[in-house]
Amino acid sequence: VESSETFIAKKSSVNDEIDALRHRATRALLERKDVVVVASVSCIYGLGLPAEYLEASTSLQVGDTVELQELIGQLESMLYSRPEEDMLRGNYQLSSILSNGTDDETTTHVLSLWPPHERHPMRIEIESLSSNGLSRVKSILGQGGATDSIHVFPAKHHVMAEEQLEAARFSIEQELKERVEELMTEGKVVEAQRLQQRVLTDLLMLKETGFCSGGENYSRHFAGRQAGEPPDTLMDYLGLSGNGDWLLVVDESHVTLPQLKAMFGGDQARKRTLVKHGYRLPSALDNRPLQHTEFWAQVKQAVFVSATPGTQELEWTKRDPVEMIIRPTFVCDPVIHVRPPQSQLDDLLKEVKSRTEKKERTLAVALTKRDAEDLADYMKEHGVSATYFHSGLTTHERSSALRALQSGDIDCLVGVNLLREGLDLPQVSLVAILNADSEGFLRSETALLQTVGRAARNTNGTAIFYANRVTKSMQRCIDDTRSRRERQMTYNNVNGYESRSTEGSSMMSIFDLLRDEIEEERKLEIVSGHSTGHDLNPVDVFTIASSAVTVIGLTENATIATEHLPSKPGVYFWKDETGKVLYIGKAKKLRSRVKSYLSPGAKHSPRIKVMLEKAKSVDFLLTPSDRDALLLESNLIKHHQPPYNVLLKDDESYPYICASIGDAFPRFFAVPRRQLGAKASNYRYFGPYPHFSEINEVLRGIEEAYDLRAKSFAARHGDACKVEYRELFNKALAEVFEAPNSVATGSLPAKRSVFEEATLLFDSDHNACRDVVAVGRGNDEGKCATVHVLQLREGLVNGRFSYDCEVPTGLDSDEELSAIIQTVLERLHYPSGESSTGMFSFFPNEILCQHPLPSGTELKQTIRSARKLVEPERKDKIVIRTPVSRGPRKQTDARAMEFAIDNAQQVALERQQGRVNGAAKTSVDGTAGKELAALLRLDAPPQRIECYDISHTQGDVAVGSRVVFLNGKPAKHLYRKFNIKSVHGVDDYASLQEVLERRFKRVWVNGRGGVVDDDSPWSLPDLVVIDGGPGQLGAAVKGMSNVGVFPKENRGLLQKSLIEEDTELIIVEEVVVGDNACRQDESERSASVAICALAKNQEEVFLYGMKGPVNDSPDSPALLLLRSLRDESHRFALHAHRKRRTASIGLK
């Protein structure tokens, strides 16, 4: 839909019964000449590859010598497959029986084969002859008993050799390349990306499974046709049979011929739009029906049958048609009455009841489907057994309704446009047409004649037109019917014939008539036995060990047992080794759902098997309820379009309740999506509803409480007041959809609120561009927490980020939690958005925090600075707040925060598995220390580590901080703060230099003697960590060297270094160091300590004197320890700075 840029995927599925009949038809055409094929106009669409279909077929005769593995390979090349569960058409199964002979043990293989054109599976016994693999066909048991031979056709019409499929894939790739270049040249970047993603996904599925969803769009490549060539259709199978002498009979030609002519144009119009917008390759235009001229070029002779022939048939025949006015039953056309619509409902009820007394039936024809439903309800309320009949019903439901009318289970059938051609209902003596004067397609001359004709099978046939006036179509229908009736009556009188009604033909469908031939077997008894070789074993079901599942985002490259997955609702993502999403699903209980994939006895489709082979991890998001999971899954599938989901349904959506407030007779009804544009103001929408049962429950509840449909129907067609109906509708709208949240539990408004709860998260304007931030903690009483950021963007979770924090001061107050959030967002999260790319912006319009932040102003400035680098034109306001306790946003805020807290808590619990007494397990068990020693080239793992940071407000009241970790755990008693004294203005480098010089001056006893004892708070650490990059590192080294403490890895010569960062240059003068080196006034002292810097954006580790970072990964245990140090140092510096700033302005 170009106006709204909405793609609506075609809904299609293979009906097993129709497919069986299709295979029986093509097999009959290829094997016989006395064949009658009944087809719809869809026969002009492509039907596989006829030549390849015939060439791939094979014959088996009793006594034939075969190579068993070669036979199985041939069946698989004909697209037969082993069953996953029950035996179905297109399946084969192989088992073996060991039998004792007089001399040797012999093996008989039982091949159960179910060709799609057979009504039951066939049993073929194949006896092994020798060890060289040769076997002999021993017996064949078919549907008619034992037979000497069978001819097996492929399981599908689209059968081709592997090399042909490979050539098709290459051809598709070439067309894709050309089309993408063409779109890029036209400046259609989005269309090019969309097309590339779709086609590459289809190519992947073709390569791995041999088929893909929507594969018919590549039919030109599969068949090797040139652009514009017509597809192979049913008529091409007639040509293969060698019998060109066939007759086409077109029934109801006045409808069929226009359909044949219009199908090509309609198909091309739809697909040209898809090609234009990058949803399909141009070759999809050749997946089409035959053009009008192409179809008739293959027809040599035809007979047209119609009660109301069109101009096309009359022009082609070039002669007067043969009229069949006299029926074999001599029944005449019905009498037509025209009656005014006033009191038409009462009049119709009277007429229907009079027919019922005579055991006759009635057809009533309304103008819309809603009218048909309402009229049927109206009749039932007034004692008439009735039901409706329209295109909204399934084929089975329509057949059941017609049978009910025939059998007398109902007395009146109310329809719209389907009570016309092809219905033989001699029980019907009355046809009543409402709104007969509404000139248009449904009340045209042809439509009226066909509808009136349904009463022409009964001797008492009558038609009633309810109308205010007689239209031209009505008059022509009346005149033609009267003329035919007069001729029929004259013929009967002259020849002495008496009319009589028949019992009517069977209303059973062709599927019912042939049920004994095409019914599917639910199960098939297979004789079990032992296989003689590995290749003959049943296909093993692919399984994954259930002991562990890698969970991305929950543990840092670790594995957890499936038992640790939560038994809560959510959405799960199967991913490959690169993190690409392969499959998205939802679950009420994530643990059991994921384990069902990994169960050794699980039976999966080929598509899921391939997915599991590629999957290396599973990720998940918890949702507040399964309704949220359903809606989020739908939105995520549209966004990610994972290759192994069943269909890429861009239009798959959950329905809304629509209130048509702008209509003359407003009503409540379900719609698949909200309408946009100029007419949107005429409607109000409530939802979406993930479960159809729930939307129906609400609509039923409205009808039970207010009876709107019946009153609307009475107002439109009867004497009820329209104003009173509008008032009743407004009352229902106010009481059900606008009631306060405090309504009684169990009431209709309360139920509706529960049913629509997913709307609060994934269909709310409040969450269109919002980050929700929460803190999660494990079950222990440690000092560790996880800050979790959820990016909500237009119904999606666009991103989620988790940051581990260790808080030595404890987590007992909101102030500490607020400081954690502020530190993470200001120093880590939003600065990382400088390099972000994607469909949605990394930066939100609003941040919803679990706890109030100490300084929202500073965070906003950080966000603006980072945002300016990637979105320089964006100037919109940034709002930072906590959930409100009242007002229209209360529910939305509460739902979003619940969502964030649940996921934050889950991440914290998972990460707690790797912690000991509040510290990372790898930090205290020696893992991180050993890795850190190797990374920094230290002689031994560091035991005492110090980290330094600077905090200030635009250079004012600057404070430096030192935090200390001993053996991987925070040592709060060693924390120190440094009020900056010598630096004025913004100069982090000079501030760091001052802090490090002041700190390491205290390494020496009294500032001048030897090194202090190890138990002193100022003893030499094993490692110094600086929060920053190479520039901050250089400044720290300069401050240390000023008091005789030098980087351990550079004890020989501290070379002159020029380090550039953020356009500021830090020059460290050349200083000779060593055992005897010293400053001019302190010649007898020097010391060394290891030092590094940790940069925040990319989590890069720098050593002094080295140009680039020394680490490859930001997620190792060593980096986890360094991040904990850095984050704690920043938190402590920020806390100290705020206390100093508060004191400086006289606040307590």
pLDDT of the residue at 652: 52
Contacts 24+ apart (CB under 8 A), 936-944: 936/1023, 936/1090, 936/1092, 936/1101, 936/1103, 936/1110, 937/1049, 937/1103, 938/1022, 938/1023, 938/1048, 938/1090, 940/1022, 942/1021, 942/1022, 942/1023, 942/1090, 943/967, 943/1022, 944/1019, 944/1021, 944/1022, 944/1023
Mean pLDDT score, 481-490? 93
Least confident of 104-113, 503-512, 618-627: 503-512
CA gap 286, 45 in Å, rounded: 10
- Are residues 44 and 295 in contact, defined by beta-carbon separation less than 8 angstroms? yes
Where does residue 526 rank: exposed (0-12), middle (13-18), buried (19+ CB within 10 A)?
A: middle
Per-residue pLDDT at 627: 84
**Nearest Cα to Cα of residue 976 among 961, 964, 965:** 961
19-57: pLDDT as tens digits: 788 888 888 888 888 889 998 888 888 888 888 888 888
| Residue 140 in this model has a pLDDT that exceeds 70 | yes
Contacts of 186 (CB under 8 A, 6+ apart): none
Mean pLDDT of 168-178: 92
What would the pLDDT profile of 318-370 be if each residue is shown by its tens digit?
Answer: 777 888 888 888 999 999 999 998 888 989 999 999 999 999 999 999 998 88
Higher pLDDT, 462 or 235: 462
Mean of pLDDT values over 986-1014 = 87
Q: Which pLDDT does position 182 carry in this prediction?
A: 92
- 617-622 and 570-575 beta bridge pairing: antiparallel
More confident residue, 218 or 531: 218
Q: What is the pLDDT of residue 176?
A: 93
pLDDT of residue 225: 87
Is the previous residue joined to 688 through a cis bond, with omega within 30 degrees of 0?
Answer: yes
| pLDDT tens digit sequence for 590-619 | 888 888 888 766 777 777 888 888 888 888
Least confident of 174-188, 510-524, 723-737, 1119-1133: 510-524
Res 1069: pLDDT = 36
Nearest by Cα to 123 from 97, 89, 92: 92
Per-residue confidence (pLDDT) for residue 267, from 0 to 100? 86
Instruction: Taking the CA atoms of 465, 471, 472 and 475 in sequence, report the sign of the dihedral they define.
Output: positive
- Confidence label for 839 from pLDDT (cuts 50, 70 and 90): confident
* The predicted structure's pLDDT at residue 277: 87
Element housing 59 (H / E): strand 58-61
Contacts of 51 (CB under 8 A, 6+ apart): 240
CA 1143/CA 19 separation, integer angstroms: 84
- Other CB atoms within a 10 A radius of the CB of residue 746 amount to 7
Report DSSP letters for 618-629, one per residue: EEEEE-SSHHHH
Contacts (Cβ under 8 Å, ≥6 apart) of 1063: none
Lowest-pLDDT choice from 54-63, 66-75, 1071-1080:
1071-1080
Tokens of 634: 């739908």
Output the DSSP codes for 1050-1089.
Answer: GSSEE--EEEEETTEEEEEPPEE-SSS--BTTBTT--EEE
Tell me phi and psi for residue 29, to 5 degrees: -65, -30
pLDDT digits (tens, 9 = 90+) for 746-780: 688 888 888 887 778 887 888 889 999 999 876 65
Determine the 3-state secondary structure of 658 from DSSP. strand
Chain centre distance of CA 1033? 49
What is the total residue count of the chain?
1148
Q: Is the model more confident about 522 or about 878?
A: 878
Instruction: Tell me which of 662 and 915 has the higher pLDDT.
Output: 662
pLDDT at residue number 808: 55
Type and span of the H or E element at 1036: helix 1030-1041
Taking the C-alpha atoms of 69, 73, 74 and 75 in order, what is their torsion angle to the nearest 10 degrees? 100
CB atoms within 10 A of CB 954: 10
Ranges 253-267, 368-382, 921-935: which has the least confidence? 921-935
Confidence (pLDDT) at 571: 92
The answer to whether 304 and 254 have CB atoms below 8 angstroms apart is no
Count the Cβ atoms, other than its own, within 10 Å of residue 247: 10
The Cβ-side half-sphere exposure at 808, using a 13 Å CA radius, reads 23
Provide mean pLDDT across the span 1014-1029.
90
The full DSSP string for 143-201 is: TTEEESEEEE--SSSS---HHHHHHHHHHHHHHHHHHHHHHHHTT-HHHHHHHHHHHHH
Using CA atoms, how far apart are residues 913 and 915, in angstroms rounded to an integer? 6
Share of the chain above pLDDT 90, in %: 22
Give the pLDDT of residue 1075: 35
Which of 640-649, 890-899, 1052-1061, 1114-1123 shows the lowest per-residue confidence on average (mean pLDDT)? 1052-1061
pLDDT tens track for 546-560: 223 333 333 332 333
> Percentage of the chain with pLDDT > 70?
82
Instruction: Please give the mean pLDDT across all residues of the chain.
Output: 80
Beta partners for residue 462, in sequence order: 335, 430
Cα dihedral 239/240/246/250 (nearest 10): -70
Name the band, by pLDDT with cuts 50, 70 and 90, for residue 961: very high
- pLDDT of 1038 higher than 70: yes
Confidence check: pLDDT of 164 > 80: yes
Note the pLDDT of residue 190. Answer: 82
Per-residue model confidence (pLDDT) at position 1049: 64
Write down the pLDDT at residue 406.
87
Residue with tokens 């002041």: 998
- DSSP one-letter string for 811-838: S-SHHHHHHHHHHIIIIIIGGGGGG--S
What tokens were used for 743? 């309504």
Q: What is the pLDDT of residue 845?
A: 92
Specify the pLDDT at position 563: 61
Beta bridge partner(s), residue 583 = 574
Q: Does the pLDDT of residue 649 top 70, yes or no?
A: no
Residue bearing the bigger pLDDT, 810 or 192: 192
Predicted pLDDT at 591: 84
pLDDT in tens, 798-837: 888 888 776 655 566 778 788 888 888 988 888 877 555 5
CB-count burial class (<10 Å; 0-12, 13-18, 19+) for 328: exposed
Higher-pLDDT residue of 514, 362: 362
Q: What is the pLDDT of residue 1083?
A: 45
Backbone angles phi, psi at 128, to 5 degrees: -70, 135
Least trusted range by pLDDT, from 191-195, 296-300, 650-654, 747-751: 650-654
Give me the helix-helix angle, 708-717 and 369-381, nearest 10°.
100
Which of 1047 and 240 is assigned the larger pLDDT?
A: 1047
Which neighbouring-strand residues pair with 948? 962, 1026
| Dihedral sign computed on CA atoms, order 1002, 1006, 1007, 1011 | negative
DSSP 248: E
Residue 6 has pLDDT above 80, yes or no: no
Q: Taking CA 54 as the corner, what is the angle to CA 49 and CA 60, rounded to the nearest 5 degrees? A: 145
Long-range CB pairs of 186-191 (<8 Å, 24+ gap) are: 188/278, 190/278, 191/276, 191/277, 191/278
Residue 348's pLDDT is what? 93
Q: What is the pLDDT of residue 923?
A: 63
What's the confidence (pLDDT) of residue 1077?
A: 35
624 pLDDT above the threshold of 50? yes
Rounded to 5 degrees, what are φ and ψ at 822?
A: -60, -45
- Torsion angle, alpha carbons of 445, 446, 447, 451, to 10: 100
